[in-house]
Structure 1
Amino acid sequence: MSSPSPKSPELSDHSKKYDRQIRLWGEHGQKSLERANICLINATAVGCEVIKNLILPGIGSFTIIDGNIVTEEDLGTNFYVEKEAIGASKSECCMRLLQELNPDVNGDYLDESIDSLLETRSEFFQSFDVVIASNIKEATLKNLSNLLWDYNIPLVYCRSLGFVGSIRLQFREHCVVEPHPDNKPLDLRIENPFTTLKEHLAVSEVNGKSPWVHVIHKHLVEWKKDHEGNPPKTYKEKNQFKEMIRIAMKSDEENHEEAIKAVNTVFESAGKISSNLSAIFNDEACQKLNTKDKNLQFWVIAKSMQDFIKTENNDLLPLQGVVPDMTADTDSYIKLQSIYRQKAMQDAENVYQRCLNTLLNIGMKNEIISENTVRLYCREASGLRFIRGTKIQSEYSDWDKSTTLAEGLECQQPLMELYAVLRAYDHFYTEFGYIPGESYVEPDTPKLKGLVTKLLQDWNIRHPVSDDMVYEICHYGGAEIHSISAFIGASAAQEVIKLLTQQYVPIDNTFLYSGITTETATYKF
């Protein structure tokens, strides 16, 4: 018999509305979205698609910056303009129609060009949590990149061009608290049980209704006697251990079948420090806490967790306290679940007290870290990550990562070719003052090819880019296709949500897409 499902409480209207996404990132993740203030620069088709996919899950507010007016061309690609608005403010029209998607979200607009705003009121951006930009000039992108880097505000730059698109994430530092891996390791400590679990397993009878944890423990005790106290490690040993369980199994004992299936994973990494967490513990920011650090909460909890692991927990992580569903009688399952939960709460409480002591030592208030937050970190300790990003402006001005590009071109990766041509595309607009192919494709193609060749020479790369790729980009003439914009917009919105909620691992740092071949790729330049 499986563990009983708790009776679901009556959902509020708010929970009903956002139920599906709360299942993905929880109430705490939803609250992070609802506190967010997002800026969109340029109400292009791809830009509006990004904002649409943030408005629907209920971000707090958004502001659109665009000094252009609605044109007939916009009607063919952008769902958030209307014929009656031709000649009127594009930012106002898009804001109004987008806000209709969700009355919970506050919308605003600024009928001004980004260049003017950067020149006269650059401090305007300080109030935003994330800035999204689309299809802007190279010089403007560099200025915006520098400004937001100094303000420590993430920038998501999106491009939709014909049948191709790209996303570039810029952030100084990003903490991933809940990575949501596809296969999260079980942390049941069967091979090295903590005191209360050991005592419980020692007196528990193993039968057809016992949780499979009991089954594995019983046979593990016997196994260790003949294997110098070690659990099964190799593929061969695990098969031998499975056979031990199978021999002892009576007919139709589902818990024993579950135990056999669990053997492959239950011993793998229970309580062990991952390479990502080890890097966090060894980071200078963790060893030398800075009270002005934007991520101070993350580092205080990490340092406190490290102290707990080293001094009290035998170099093991705080216990997750999560017991998977398994075939068992109700009383046995609930008892086992309670033991794990109590130990996890004790570990988290220990780490929390260390956090309070650490805050006291550096002269900070206790309120900046809650007990619930510490419990979350402890539960997700095995997957914690800290990512340091790179600045877009540096990618354009101080190129020193040409190895990645050269290797990609040598291997004839089409999307690496796409990256090189898009960089040349940006230079084309800067040098000639118009978009390649905007009026005439044939004369602009050799010009764009020449810029690609020059860029590759500047990067000391000898591998050429195909003429077909250059012609394809020039042939688009800067046009957006809505299906491509919708795909890029949805993908970029996912990355924004990752940044806001500190859940799931964001791309680092460039995402490329070809609608012709339906290929995607991520690169770090």
Structure 2
Amino acid sequence: MEGKDNTNVDKNNKYDRQLRLWGDHGQAALEIARVCLINATATGTEILKNLILPGIGSFTVVDGHKVLGEDAGNNFFLTKDSIGKSRAKVATDLLAELNEDVNGDFLEEDAEKLLDSNPDFFSQFSIVVATNLCERAISKLSNHLWSKNVPLLVCRCYGFIGYMRLLIKEHTVVESHPDNTHEDLRLDRPFPALVQYCDSLHLETMNSKDHSHTPWLVILFKYLQEWKKQHNGEVPKDYKERNLLKEMLKKGMHRNEEGILENEENFEEAIRSINTALVPSKSSAFWIMARALKDFVENEGEGSLPVRGTIPDMTADSERYIQLQQVYRKKAGEDATKVSQRVQKLLQSIGKVGLISEHEIKTFCRNAAFVRVVRCRSLVEEYDSKSIKLQELIPHLDDEEQDDAVFYVLLRAVDRFYEEYNAYPGWYNDQVETDVSKLKACLTKLLQDWGLSLKIKDDYIHEICRSGAAELHTVSAFIGGVAAQEIIKVITRQFVPFNNTYIYNAMKQTSITLEL
């Protein structure tokens, strides 16, 4: 038992920073995840590196290639001595050295052939990552994984261009960790315990010390009640009315014998917080817990989501701050219990009692205002010339200063080029100029199929041919970091992954996300 405790302590120290980001439950999800990488390219190994270091459960590399000189030149995890050896084995051996907690395996086989002979092999993974596959192979793989509800992330580095495409039918996020959130204070619709606590404090009879140490939330509540008495029970609705409430607060600040305002930070905090604290509480919903939440909102919640149970930091003495904090925590616990009762009834009705833990329900209630659902489109839809979202592309291509979305179009043309010539444009130095003409023809045909009469600048076409499909390690390293970040979002179900296409332009160090 002692050894086990020491192991837990070591893990807490080892993964301390990331535990602060996604918590014990996020780390637990990561540690049981199984990731499959197709092709140990420079991009592929960089992605795995950034998953192995934080401690994914296991990874499997599927790659039928031998290490070439160009691999040793651009891949940090392959060396000159490994040329001619199995790329899957060499990469797996070196990657596994990064973290002894992670299990690594490899399969020296072509992914497309494996998909034909044993497609269910790929169904066992938490997520599949495919790098540098041709369009035919990606289509076949994505169709299979889509039918099995296994997430797929397609990654590609092509010269100075990075590309990612996330394929996931439906991804629900409870802990979305929004960057900017309003506190859930319910000042517009105060619950009884909050009213009772605020009414127990009397600003008008307090001495200066107590007056200046009363939490701003209590101060704002009291002045808001005065405002509502004068305005038919309504809270301030616009900028002008909120400024009038601020003036009321300023008049309530204590003055010394000379009539000079005393230093009352709590009143100043209340004034600064008016705009954000008076945001009305709103509802949203989501599946078994979402259904229970919906029923709660329509009944006990009286139109509002469960109280979150947190308050911001504010100037106050510890005793009153903790008392106020407990008011919100108690109310949050009561709301979560009511939602939980509804969840259990729903589970009983469908014969799945015990499927959802109390901790999950409390987490759901705490984050109810921020839950998100990401639904990506399939590649079948995207690759169908009749259903591609041209309205998403056209604004980026019509402009004289065509932005990074143009590289999506060019990469699709590159795939057509490969399908026709079994090589990428610019692969052979002595054919670059010839390939420019061929790529233009592929691009013209692609745009015609989409019903677009657009002109892509020659500079872009020459750049694609000049790169010759080469992977640059700097671009691969960048995409490796971004891709690993998105994979961790999917695995932990925390934070919101992109939807659904990401393009990175290393020449300008810019990027764009498109929903295609």
Which TM-score tier does this pair reach, normalised by the shorter chain?
A: over 0.9
Q: Which residue of 2 aligns with 1:434?
A: 423
Aligned equivalent of 1:190, options 171, 187, 191: 187
Instruction: Please state if 1:454 is matched with 2:441.
Output: no
1:127-149 per-residue CA deviation (whole Å, 9 max, x = no partner) reads: 10100001101100000010100
Conserved 8 A contact 2:500-2:513: yes
Instruction: Please state if 1:226 is matched with 2:230.
Output: yes
Mapping for residues 122-133 of structure 1, pairs under 5 Å:
122-133=119-130
Q: Which residue of 1 aligns with 2:474?
A: 483
Instruction: Please state if 1:345 is matched with 2:349.
Output: no
Instruction: Please state if 1:414 is matched with 2:403.
Output: yes
Mapping for residues 314-463 of structure 1, pairs under 5 Å:
314-364=302-352, 366-400=353-387, 401-412=389-400, 413-439=402-428, 440-463=431-454
C-alpha distance in 1 between matches for 2:287 and 2:54? 30
C-alpha distance in 2 between matches for 1:452 and 1:483? 28
1:287-345 per-residue CA deviation (whole Å, 9 max, x = no partner) reads: xxxxxxxxxxx611000011111011111000100111211111101111111111101
Conserved 8 A contact 1:191-1:231: yes
Aligned equivalent of 2:282, options 269, 272, 278: 272
Mapping for residues 231-246 of structure 1, pairs under 5 Å:
231-246=235-250
Mapping for residues 52-131 of structure 1, pairs under 5 Å:
52-131=49-128
C-alpha distance in 1 between matches for 2:127 and 2:449? 33
Conserved 8 A contact 2:30-2:56: yes
C-alpha distance in 1 between matches for 2:237 and 2:492? 37
Cα displacement (A) at 1:257: 1.4
1:362-392 per-residue CA deviation (whole Å, 9 max, x = no partner) reads: 122x221000000000000001112221112
C-alpha distance in 1 between matches for 2:218 and 2:101? 49
C-alpha distance in 1 between matches for 2:487 and 2:74? 23
What is the TM-score normalised by the length of structure 2? 0.93
C-alpha distance in 2 between matches for 1:237 and 1:500? 46
The residue type equivalent to 1:498 in the other structure is K
The residue type equivalent to 1:186 in the other structure is E
C-alpha distance in 2 between matches for 1:399 and 1:445? 27
SS in 1 for 2:37: strand
C-alpha distance in 2 between matches for 1:333 and 1:27? 28
1:98-152 per-residue CA deviation (whole Å, 9 max, x = no partner) reads: 1111111111111111111011111101110100001101100000010100110
The residue type equivalent to 1:422 in the other structure is L
Q: Which residue of 2 aligns with 1:263?
A: 274
Conserved 8 A contact 1:436-1:478: yes
Conserved 8 A contact 2:163-2:503: yes
SS in 2 for 1:445: helix
Which one has a bigger Cα radius of gyration?
A: 2
Q: Which residue of 2 aligns with 1:5?
A: none
Cα displacement (A) at 1:398: 4.8
Q: Which residue of 2 aligns with 1:164?
A: 161
C-alpha distance in 2 between matches for 1:411 and 1:383? 35
The residue type equivalent to 1:184 in the other structure is T
Q: Which moved more, 1:394-403 or 1:467-476?
A: 394-403
C-alpha distance in 1 between matches for 2:60 and 2:379? 23
Cα displacement (A) at 1:394: 2.5
Cα displacement (A) at 1:190: 1.7
Conserved 8 A contact 1:166-1:510: yes
Conserved 8 A contact 2:398-2:454: yes
The residue type equivalent to 1:517 in the other structure is K
Cα displacement (A) at 1:407: 2.6
SS in 1 for 2:212: coil
Cα displacement (A) at 1:429: 0.7
Number of residue pairs matched? 492
Two-structure CA RMSD over aligned residues (Å): 1.4
SS in 1 for 2:425: coil
The residue type equivalent to 2:271 in the other structure is I
1:398–1:463 distance in 2 versus 1, CA, 3 Å: closer
C-alpha distance in 1 between matches for 2:47 and 2:503? 16
Cα displacement (A) at 1:178: 1.2
The residue type equivalent to 2:404 in the other structure is L
C-alpha distance in 1 between matches for 2:24 and 2:392? 40
Conserved 8 A contact 1:48-1:80: yes
C-alpha distance in 2 between matches for 1:405 and 1:265? 36
SS in 1 for 2:339: helix
1:399–1:81 distance in 2 versus 1, CA, 3 Å: farther
What is the TM-score normalised by the length of structure 1? 0.92
Structure 2's unaligned 5+ residue stretches are 1-6, 204-210, 255-261
Aligned equivalent of 1:49, options 46, 49, 52: 46
Q: Which residue of 2 aligns with 1:14?
A: 11
The residue type equivalent to 2:217 in the other structure is V
The residue type equivalent to 2:238 in the other structure is T
C-alpha distance in 1 between matches for 2:88 and 2:380? 26
SS in 2 for 1:415: coil
SS in 1 for 2:74: coil
Q: Which residue of 1 aligns with 2:293?
A: 305
C-alpha distance in 2 between matches for 1:340 and 1:349? 14
SS in 2 for 1:313: coil
C-alpha distance in 2 between matches for 1:142 and 1:78? 26
